[in-house]
Structure 1
Amino acid sequence: MAQRMGRLRKELQQLTHSPPAGITCWPEGDDLTLFTAVIMGEENTVYAGGMFRLEIEVPDRYPFLPPKVRFVTKVYHPNIDDAGRICLDVLKVAPAGSWRPIHNLASVLTSIRLLLGSPNPHDPLMTDIAEEYQFKNAQFESTAREWTEKYAKNPDLPSALHQEPSGKKRSLQPEDEEERKSEHSRGSAEEEKSNNKKQKQ
């Protein structure tokens, strides 16, 4: 456990002081078991301008076992399923995958960012999206851009988030509640303005 914590502290220093391009990552607590990351969509891809939030769970046997990573922000991609789970070799141990203890959180997140911009339709989690990517690419790109605009540029809204794999609904966070109150306030103001206009007529 001490070895695991020492390594994770070093990785956290690296992520803080010299993070990979387009990636930020921070721990959710002092035990360094759960991390949150944000990946910026690469330019000249259908995900450009998007901010994609990920959840990283570090197992007790890390680095001998890979971290569990999933997208929290919804993304239209052949290698990412409806729960945000990712099909990527580096997230699986041999012989099914390529994880080795030499890998770390920074290299995993870099690989995920590369996969985001360059999907692998030959090893999909979403076969229908993979087929669309290969045979109806214009349609795929249109939908992926639409999802990026709708969800990845408003990453804190509840509608932009994947459901938990268990199917549990995510409770409103403080920022979500503020957004709901703001929308309600705007709606009330517009309604009052409309009523005043009718009275004047």
Structure 2
Amino acid sequence: MALPKETQRLVADPAPGISAAPHDDNLRYFDVSITGPDGSPFQGGVFRLELYLPEEYPMSPPKVRFLTKIYHPNIDKLGRICLDILKDKWSPALQIRTVLLSIQALLSAPNPDDPLATDVAKHYKENEAAAKAVSREWTEKYAQ
């Protein structure tokens, strides 16, 4: 399994604001934390995620979900993430690092036009300032 090399790189050279560590007993499971990007409503928060590499990896995408509650149009109550590279745009050339950077970027740029949490997306579309205020509140409440 080509996993350890990618895992070593991820641990040795983490992307800014992202840490990922495999479980000792199962190298397919990772504990991930992503800090909310500066200038986003998630700034100052540290979000915990879990990442799992299925048997088919890298031919199929990793499974990633938020464990920290977050108010975001592309992340549902169960922590599932609506991101093209986790679904139909996946390529074996992509790496865990790329996936985590894309999730971090999604925090900076919510896409209410491709929502997973339709109520949050509706809020973002109708009153972005108010929706961002709720995102900030949830960040302070759940991610600090």
Question: Which range, TM-score by smaller chain?
Answer: over 0.9
2:38 alignment partner, one of 31, 37, 43: 43
Residue 108 of structure 1: how far off its partner (Å):
0.4
* Corresponding position of 2:5: 10
What is the letter of the counterpart of residue 125 of structure 1?
L
In structure 1, what is the Cα distance between the partners aligned to 2:24 and 2:80? Answer: 23
In structure 1, what is the Cα distance between the partners aligned to 2:18 and 2:97? Answer: 9
The structure where strand makes up a greater share of residues is 2
After TM superposition, the runs of 4+ consecutive aligned structure 1 residues lying more than 2 A away are: none
What is the letter of the counterpart of residue 93 of structure 2?
I
- Summarize the alignment of residues 29-178 of structure 1 with structure 2, pairs less than 5 Å apart: 29-92=24-87, 97-153=88-144
Percent identity of paired positions between Structure 1 and Structure 2: 50
In structure 2, what is the Cα distance between the partners aligned to 1:147 and 1:107? Answer: 26
Residue 31 of structure 1: how far off its partner (Å):
3.5
**Pairs aligned (count):** 144
Cα displacement string for residues 93-152 of structure 1 (whole angstroms, at most 9, x for unaligned residues): xxxx11010011100000000001110111101112112112211210111000000000
In structure 2, what is the Cα distance between the partners aligned to 1:111 and 1:69? Answer: 12
Pairwise CA RMSD: 0.9
Describe the SS at the equivalent of 2:49: strand
In structure 1, what is the Cα distance between the partners aligned to 2:135 and 2:18? Answer: 20
**Structure 2 unaligned regions, length at least 5:** none
Residue 29 of structure 1: how far off its partner (Å):
2.4
Residue 53 of structure 1: how far off its partner (Å):
0.4
State the TM-score, normalizing by the size of structure 1.
0.70
**Structure 1 unaligned regions, length at least 5:** 154-201
